[in-house]
Chain A
Amino acid sequence: MTGRMSLPLATHAYGDHPPTMPPADPARGDAAAVDPATRLAMYRMLQRTRQFEKRAYDLFMRRLVKGTTHLSLGMEAVATGFGTAMRADDYTFATYRGHAHTLARGVPMTPILAELLGRANGLLGGKGGSMHLTSVAHGVMGSYAIIGAHLTIANGAAWSAQYRGSGQVAVCFFGDGTTNIGAFHEALNYASIFRLPVVFVCENNLYMEYTAIGDVTAVPRPAADRAAAYRLEPQVIDGNDADACYLAALDALERARSGGGPSLVEAVTYRHGGHSRADPGKYRPPGEIEAWLGYDPVTLYRDRLLRLGVEDAVLGGVEREVAAEVEQATREAIDGPLPSPDSALTQLWADGGSQWRN
């Protein structure tokens, strides 16, 4: 080949990145200072998000979820920990992978599931779908499917809270891949110089879609290694440990509320399934999935609660209650009416319609 050139990526050991394996000791977080009632509530939320996501997957495979769906299976501890720590009037900004984050703010299951199924009884009347879950009443200020966009939007919401002196905080979730788009960097700098009450939570699940994050990122820790550039503390937490997420959230929220400015938290986690739809996730090296399945956030937490003396029957009761909740939501979602064709033409303008006007 003539004119062979050398690009930076040419020297990059493609596909050879060191697999990031989960921590070896699952009991290491047992002593965290989290009270029993909160722990039980978090276990319920872990179960709700887990069982919801499994059901969403089943319904997708039954072709009842049209379009696409991105699940948080394996990543539920992040939404659970942060959702539990947040104040009812705080803001959440989620991504297309936002079912868990929406549930974690108290939005009931039925409207979320019905929205996934595109039904008229969905959270957004079937017009938003899986990727755009929004519930202003619950502080869920949207789920965003264009990578990076919502980090700057979260800054705006945080700024509004700062203007009002309301003490509210905007919590913005995004993935590892997002740290490479310009908007991430613009948003961090902005938040830092204006000391905005915003918490950026990078859910580092080691993959940007089908590409290992290490193959396309200059530093090993996609978020934390960038923090210094914006005068922020580098923070890496165990994203599979709900207690760790909860405590990190309390800390960051408190800093933001008291005028201490933004935080950037990198929560290392792993998605059990593929990126979206029925992606089998075959691009992942052998052993990696198994290792992470052995460090599952739900089992990890259940085992912890047992070690801490919670009775198995109590946990079993929570699991059964959540299962019943999921069954009921499924029935209500499937029985929901399809949106009328006319609904394609509503809500374009503030008057609710889509009439062309002079």
Chain B
Amino acid sequence: MTTLTLAKALNEGLRRSMEADSKVLVMGEDVGKLGGVFRVTDGLQKDFGEDRVIDTPLAESGIIGTAIGLALRGYRPVCEIQFDGFVFPAADQIITQLAKMPLRSLGHVKLPVVIRIPCGGGIGAVEHHSESPEAYFTHTAGLRVVACSNPADAYSMIQDAVRIDDPIIFFEPKRRYWDKAEVDLSAPGLPLDRARVVRQGDDVTLLAYGPMVKTCLEAAAAEEGRSIEVIDVRSLNPLDSGVLAESVRRTGRCVVVHEAPVFNGYGAELAARLTEMCFYHLEAPILRVGGFSTPYPPSRLEDHYLPDLDRVLDAVDRVFAY
């Protein structure tokens, strides 16, 4: 066991991936010499060289387009988008090309591109630097979308993501980058497309991913009286709905928590799907907790915006009030 921050766990995972396969490349703005603004790629250029860890121009569409071309010819690029809000200049490449080319080529091309996106708020970094854009990508067929929430998962999930032949949007909870935990560097992790029950309980199921998993665990620990089950969804698309449905059928109540605005957020999909799957077991409608339907606020207001223990536990109270 080694104690690692989430950022360092990703770094170790990338290092293993690069050692295992010389076709793995890392590319993005400031990822080489600097090691990325969050230091996730720290030291990789020094150890693997400038051919494999590439400081790109400031051009997100260009970064992803180039990665697609490299992937077409057998490379496995891992692209870093510096902050969530900077992915939009690359939207056309991701949605129109990356997600669709494998299908429209009858599977003749595979695009093993990983797009790493530090996501979410909580570091006082305002709009463009604190967003949760997952629903844009889960809505796009052809993209796998995953979110890690802790160092051990970060370590295994990034390696899985690099190995898998599908395009993958890989969300990293930036405010958890500095969280530390024990990581077993030799144990195989849970497969990438699986959800994980991170706390067992009997009365209500909390569903979360990325930064909100920790918030939900804290809420569950703070709750007196009710036994709360917390599930880390991990893979948003494809969704491990069996694990989620099993839990919700057992508890009969469910609250979905994410940082993104509730309106049309990913939680809407979870609520609708689990309602279909668990209708006769539900004691109450599935509730959603999330950010307000406004742009992400400046830092002095972000504590009001981000779901916290109180908002989560308030929703728990409300599912019991039905």
A residues lining the B interface (CB < 8 Å): 1-7, 9-10, 12, 14-15, 66-68, 118, 126-129, 131-132, 145-148, 177-178, 180-183, 208-211, 215-217, 283, 338-339, 341, 343-345, 348, 354, 356
Contacts and interface: CB of A to CB of B under 8 A. Distances in A.
Given A127-B298, A354-B293, 15 more contacts: A3-B23, A10-B50, A126-B300, A127-B301, A148-B89, A181-B58, A181-B89, A208-B29, A208-B58, A211-B55, A215-B55, A216-B55, A339-B301, A344-B301, A348-B294
A345 B297 CA distance: 9
B60 A181 contact: yes
Contact of B292 (A4, A6, A178, A344): A344
B308 to A, nearest CB: 13
B55 A338 contact: no
Interface stretch (B123-131, B158-166, B227-235): B123-131
Contacts of B74: 3
A338 B300 contact: yes
21 contacts: A3-B22, A4-B51, A14-B55, A66-B124, A118-B298, A118-B299, A126-B300, A131-B128, A180-B62, A181-B58, A181-B89, A209-B30, A209-B58, A211-B55, A216-B57, A283-B34, A338-B300, A348-B294, A348-B295, A354-B292, A354-B293
Given A14-B50, A67-B299, A344-B305, A181 B59 contact: yes
Given A211-B33, A344-B292, A339 B300 contact: yes
Interface residues of B, number: 43
B85 interface: yes
B75 interface: yes
Interface of B: 22-23, 29-30, 32-34, 37, 50-51, 54-62, 74-75, 85-86, 88-89, 124-129, 263, 292-295, 297-301, 304-305
Contacts of B55: 9, 14, 211, 215-216
Contact of A146 (B29, B85, B124): B85
Contact of B33 (A12, A15, A183): A15
Given A6-B51, A209-B29, A129 B299 contact: yes
Contacts of B33: 14-15, 210-211, 283
Contacts of B305: 344
A180 B293 contact: no
A125 to B, nearest CB: 10
Contacts of B60: 181
A11 B55 CA distance: 13
Given A354-B293, A356-B263, A2 B22 contact: yes
A339 B33 CA distance: 40
A146 B50 contact: no
B58 A180 contact: yes
A129 B59 contact: no
A245 to B, nearest CB: 24
A127 B297 CA distance: 7
Contact of A1 (B22, B29, B293): B22
Nearest to B85: A146
A7 B300 CA distance: 44
Given A354-B292, A354-B294, A210 B30 contact: yes
A4 B300 contact: no
A6 B298 CA distance: 43
A162 B88 CA distance: 30
A9 B52 CA distance: 10
A126 B298 contact: yes
A344 B56 CA distance: 36
A253 to B, nearest CB: 28
B301 A343 contact: yes
A22 to B, nearest CB: 24
Contacts of B301: 118, 126-127, 339, 341, 343-344
Find the residue from A14, A67, A338, A341 having the highest chain B CB count within 10 A: A67
B300 A9 contact: no
A178 B60 CA distance: 11
Contact of B58 (A15, A127, A177): A177
Contacts of A6: 51
Contacts of A148: 89
A5 B34 CA distance: 23
Find the residue from B57, B75, B263 having the highest chain A CB count within 10 A: B57
A276 to B, nearest CB: 10
A344 B61 contact: no
B233 to A, nearest CB: 25
Contacts of B75: 5
Nearest to A176: B58
B50 A129 contact: no
Contacts of A217: 57
A119 B124 CA distance: 15
Given A9-B55, A68-B125, A118 B300 contact: yes
A159 B125 CA distance: 34
Nearest 4 CB-CB pairings of A with B: A180-B57, A118-B300, A66-B299, A216-B57
A1 B49 CA distance: 11
A285 to B, nearest CB: 12
A146 B304 contact: no
A78 B56 CA distance: 27
Contacts of A3: 22-23, 74
Contacts of B30: 209-211
A10 B89 CA distance: 26
A162 to B, nearest CB: 27
B54 A67 contact: no
A344 B127 CA distance: 13
A215 B85 CA distance: 25
Contacts of B127: 132, 145
Nearest to A146: B128
Contacts of B59: 180-182
Contacts of A181: 57-62, 89
Nearest to B263: A356
Contact of B56 (A5, A67, A216): A216
A126 to B, nearest CB: 6
